[in-house]
Structure 1
Amino acid sequence: TGLGRAYGAPNHFPGTNSVLYRNNGDETFSDISKAAGINILDPVSHHPEGKALGVIPLDYDQDGWTDLFVANDTVRNFLFHNQGNGTFEETAIFEGLAYDRNGKATGAMGVDSSWFGNDADIAIAIGNFANEATSFYTTAEGQLPFADEAITTGIGPTSRLALTFGLFFLDADLDGWLDFFQANGHLEKEINKVQLSQTYAQPPQLFWQCGNACKNRYQPVTHSGDLNTPLVGRGASYADIDQDGDLDLLITQSGRSARLFRNDQTQHHHWLRILLKGKQMNRQGIGASVSLVSGGITQRRRVTRTHGYLSQSELPLTFGLGNHDHVETLTINWPDGTEQRINTPAIDQLLTIQHPAIQEQPQ
């Protein structure tokens, strides 16, 4: 009552701490949040500051340790820099990730990260509330800090009206460049009665990346078949459900049925999908990075299950090759520091790669 909307805005609720659990190896977990430096308190009230809706693991400074980025709703975002000793330091303000380009906190929801330009630059994309463009923080020539380049990349203007929850990077057409997808939908069923520019159900958005060939790297795809259908989108994930090499999409809705969209790319682009098999306690190779060289272009991916908002996508990494019909090299950097190199693997297949330590074990 008195808030001007049918739901309570996040700034009317107290914050809460995120929780980090350590696996004890005996089917139990211990809460190590405070000792690890994950608990962030408001310097004035001394109450928890965070209002987290999204989290993504990444190694933003390439020091070999997994860091954590937390997207917060209406308060500043957090970036937890892994100190390598079981503790984290919160560095979002110093690295340019705490606020938007105008120095304001946003209604942040889902988050994803990638090496989006086939170079050293890392992007962190965040879905925001309606009338707040999607945030698209990037490094410049691989150097920190980050800057919000949503406008210059082309995503900002087209995403401004949308209320975005789930989002992620994927190579939708397998041309070798990571495209960008976001699932949209408002919170208020009758929002159109008070804001004519807004609707409850909103179409998802797919942005095609044209690489360095365009002034704006990302171009909105306006003809995407059933994907143009307005939805009350929340979570979103991808997987190759029909095993044809391209990535299909699953979108969950608020109070409505989930939607599954099959991707049938017709350009006959080549591809290679990689599934890692790790050793001992990290059997899925979480945190490993894979670099692929084809046609003189290096693509890079990180193994993680978390993308977007309350969603988990498939484990294999999908590399589009475009018209290139071979791969020169694959390089896997495992979380334990092991580097593995594979030359000229066959393409258009799902290739399972085991950690070298597994291969060396006696049969």
Structure 2
Amino acid sequence: GFDAVIQSAKEYNILYHNNGDGTFTDVTKKAGLQGRGWSSDVAIFDYDEDGDQDVLVACMFGRAQLYRNDKGKFVDVTLETLGRTSWGGMGVKVFDAHNDSRLDVLIVDMHSDMWMGLDLSHGSLKLATDSAQKKFRSIFGPMKQQDNKLVKTEERWADTLAFSRGEVLFGNSFFRATDKGTFEELSEEVGLETLWPWGISVGDFDNDGHQDIFLSSGMGFPFYYWPNHLMLNNGDGTFADHATARGIEPPVQGHYHDKKIQNRDSVRSSRCAATADFDGDGRLEIITNNFNDIPYYFKNEFDTGNNYVALRLQGTSSNRDAIGARILARVGDQTMLRMVHSAGGYLSQSSRTVHFGLGQQDVIDSIEISWPSGIKQVIENPALNQVHDVVEPDKAAK
């Protein structure tokens, strides 16, 4: 059966075990997955590649937690595996950003370390000028205001955030997988620091063979206009924001603090985003849900001429939705990794169709599917520029 993890604000997480008869049993405490409450998003993946599924939970008012699955018992391995993690994470996504067949982790944090103005009623943050992981060197970011002043953090904030142990960070966290079973935090180096992100959607929007990122962003009490971010992969695992150039956002004039809602031609404080090929043309579209506004649908009109291939998986021995399946596409000397996820990001669920952009490559050597049941299936030279329906075989197939 297929089990379910439910995130819960204020209360604890809940893990329901599928009894196989249409009923579920709460096994949260027994499994060790209670967490600390205020969970906002979850990613389930095999980070240590030992054959079972581990759990990464983002927390709205606390640090993210990575739990290693030890035969159905979960152990918090956050510090030894990820190190410090974002405090106030709203979304988490696991994907291969470098086409090295390793799953990287992106956690977006509503408490950005790129503040342009700090207005905290409990006192401002103490500036850390030389953080070992480079998370606080530019606490104001490149667009800082001249009148910002920093004062010593109140003691109760320091206790709450546990700065003395160095366990938490403000700002997005991008963890690149290493060959040692651990992760290296590189958000600044790869260009993934943004302001007030909530949801994450990942996909190859320009079909060049490298996965891109869309970050829905916004904040508003009182309302301000915060731009969403379309972070296109440069092909080397670094990212650049193309939201304005690609029509996601209008050109911005002046300072962010001037961008109040009444001065915009639309209200857009986005909370979440989902992706799918809505019109079936092989290009991924984006839809956002916005606070006090209608959803926005962004039709993909990238005119690249790049090829693609897509798969709709159906499990038989595995769960029907094939959640947990790993798919490797081999194209020449390049290998691209995708996974079928149950979670889609904060308050959203993207299409589970597996999509590979191929650039100008006109042949795929093979696609290897590792089904959750353990069955391996290899598809040789699949036809390009179409969606393939793939049913899990009874045994390893080629």
> TM class, shorter-chain normalised?
0.7 to 0.9
Give 1:51 deviation, angstroms.
Answer: 2.3
Aligned 1:242-281 pairs, distance under 5 A: 242-280=279-317
Is 2:211 the partner of 1:211?
A: no
Would the aligned equivalents of 2:228 and 2:248 in 1 still touch at CA under 8 Å? no
Instruction: State the alpha-carbon separation in 2 of the partners of residues 167 and 187 from structure 1.
Output: 19
* Cα-to-partner distance string for 1:127-172 (whole Å, 9 max, x where unaligned): 11243332111123x333212200110112xx1xx11111122101
2:103 counterpart (108, 114, 122): 122
Instruction: State the alpha-carbon separation in 1 of the partners of residues 180 and 61 from structure 2.
Output: 28
* Cα-to-partner distance string for 1:154-197 (whole Å, 9 max, x where unaligned): 112xx1xx11111122101000001111000104124xxxxxxx
* Cα-to-partner distance string for 1:205-230 (whole Å, 9 max, x where unaligned): 01111123xxx711111411144477
Matched position secondary structure for 2:300: coil
* Cα-to-partner distance string for 1:275-316 (whole Å, 9 max, x where unaligned): 111105601111010000113211010011312202111111
Amino acid at match of 2:385: D
Amino acid at match of 1:138: R
Give 1:345 deviation, angstroms.
Answer: 0.7
Q: What residue is the counterpart of 2:78 in the other structure?
A: 92
Instruction: State the alpha-carbon separation in 2 of the partners of residues 129 and 52 from structure 1.
Output: 13
Give 1:326 deviation, angstroms.
Answer: 1.1
Instruction: State the alpha-carbon separation in 2 of the partners of residues 294 and 359 from structure 1.
Output: 22
Would the aligned equivalents of 2:63 and 2:89 in 1 still touch at CA under 8 Å? no
Q: What residue is the counterpart of 2:5 in the other structure?
A: none
Instruction: State the alpha-carbon separation in 2 of the partners of residues 189 and 239 from structure 1.
Output: 32
Is 2:134 the partner of 1:147?
A: no
Q: What residue is the counterpart of 1:183 in the other structure?
A: 216
Instruction: State the alpha-carbon separation in 2 of the partners of residues 64 and 359 from structure 1.
Output: 17
Matched position secondary structure for 2:232: strand
Instruction: State the alpha-carbon separation in 2 of the partners of residues 24 and 188 from structure 1.
Output: 45
Identity %: 29
Instruction: State the alpha-carbon separation in 2 of the partners of residues 302 and 150 from structure 1.
Output: 22
Give 1:56 deviation, angstroms.
Answer: 0.9
2:349 counterpart (312, 317, 327): 312
How many equivalent pairs are there?
316
Amino acid at match of 1:172: F
Give 1:71 deviation, angstroms.
Answer: 0.5
Give 1:249 deviation, angstroms.
Answer: 0.5
Q: What residue is the counterpart of 2:141 in the other structure?
A: none
Aligned 1:1-363 pairs, distance under 5 A: 15-40=10-35, 49-84=36-71, 86-97=72-83, 99-100=84-85, 105-132=86-113, 133-140=171-178, 142-156=179-193, 159=194, 162-190=195-223, 199=224, 201-212=225-236, 217-221=238-242, 222-228=244-250, 231-280=268-317, 282-357=319-394
Instruction: State the alpha-carbon separation in 1 of the partners of residues 58 and 300 from structure 2.
Output: 29
Matched position secondary structure for 2:328: strand
Amino acid at match of 2:77: T
Instruction: State the alpha-carbon separation in 1 of the partners of residues 395 and 368 from structure 2.
Output: 17
Give 1:254 deviation, angstroms.
Answer: 1.6
Give 1:74 deviation, angstroms.
Answer: 3.1
Give 1:96 deviation, angstroms.
Answer: 1.8
Would the aligned equivalents of 1:305 and 1:313 in 2 still touch at CA under 8 Å? no
Instruction: State the alpha-carbon separation in 2 of the partners of residues 270 and 312 from structure 1.
Output: 25
Would the aligned equivalents of 1:130 and 1:186 in 2 still touch at CA under 8 Å? no
Would the aligned equivalents of 1:269 and 1:322 in 2 still touch at CA under 8 Å? yes
Amino acid at match of 1:134: N
* Cα-to-partner distance string for 1:227-255 (whole Å, 9 max, x where unaligned): 44772111211000000001101100122
Instruction: State the alpha-carbon separation in 1 of the partners of residues 62 and 270 from structure 2.
Output: 23
Structure 1, unmatched stretches of 5+, are 1-13, 41-48, 191-198
* Cα-to-partner distance string for 1:10-32 (whole Å, 9 max, x where unaligned): xxxx9531000112222221111
Would the aligned equivalents of 2:318 and 2:371 in 1 still touch at CA under 8 Å? no
Would the aligned equivalents of 2:377 and 2:396 in 1 still touch at CA under 8 Å? no
Amino acid at match of 1:18: N
Matched position secondary structure for 2:209: coil
Matched position secondary structure for 2:30: helix
Instruction: State the alpha-carbon separation in 1 of the partners of residues 104 and 215 from structure 2.
Output: 15
Given the two structures, how large is their TM-score scaled by the length of structure 2? Answer: 0.75
Amino acid at match of 2:304: Q
Amino acid at match of 1:207: M
